[in-house]
Amino acid sequence: MDDTHVWVRAARAGDGEAFARLFERIAPALYTWADLRLRPDLRRHLEPGDVVGEVWLRAWRGIADFDPGEVPFRPWLFRVAKNVLYEAGRRAGRAREAGGLGPTTRLFALENLPDDATAISRRLMRDEELVLFGERIRALPDEERRLVLHCGLEGMSRREAAARLGLSVEALTKRWQRLRERLRAAGLPRELILEGGGGSSG
């Protein structure tokens, strides 16, 4: 039984344990997404685990304003993640212009990160299955890699993903179904790939 809506309701009311359960369920996909999306110039100053930690902090601060009637929790969380990467790029650019982006500069301080979030990030960094998954996805052609990012990890609607890729909804649905079955046949982690793939068409 999917109890996501129960945890969402509790988290919005301030229940930190419910939020941790919600986050932990999506954290492997979030870590993999960050690992695939981080540009080489940012990777020296921001690790996928840092992204997971920063997303935790921002999502927890914003969970009370999250409206599950507007967007499901997973796509909402990835919106937060995209903002984190966007801000990281801007911070890095400003630091370079000011001559202050040294080899040890970190783009996010991650102060007051809860123990649960730290434990999740550390566990994900040691997960060899995630490393293998990332390597397999990097080796895919560009369109298939973007299908995994948008449909499998972010939970983007089929309509939005189709628009991003310049495909019809029908074409995207068929391509994603075929790709998802190939990835599962290769033994890649099932929990990383959304069962429905791409959510609803709306």
HEC letters along 71-127? CCHHHHHHHHHHHHHHHHHHHHHHHHHCCCCCCCCCCCCCCCCCHHHHHHHHHHHCC
- Rounded to two decimals, the pTM is 0.85
Please list the rounded mean pLDDT of every run of 10 residues in the chain (202 residues): 83 93 92 90 82 92 93 93 88 71 59 76 86 90 95 92 96 94 80 57 43
Which pLDDT does position 94 carry in this prediction?
A: 74
DSSP for residue 149: I
Which pLDDT does position 200 carry in this prediction?
A: 47
Tell me the angle at which helices 169-185 and 158-165 cross, rounded to the nearest 10 degrees: 100
Query: Taking Cα atoms as reference points, which of 122, 154, 129, 117 lies closest to residue 21?
Result: 117
40 to 36, 43, 180, 194: CA distances (angstroms)? 10, 5, 27, 27
Which pLDDT does position 195 carry in this prediction?
A: 54
All structural domains of the chain, each given as residue ranges with its CATH number in brackets, are 1-126 (no CATH), 128-202 (1.10.10)
Which pLDDT does position 8 carry in this prediction?
A: 93
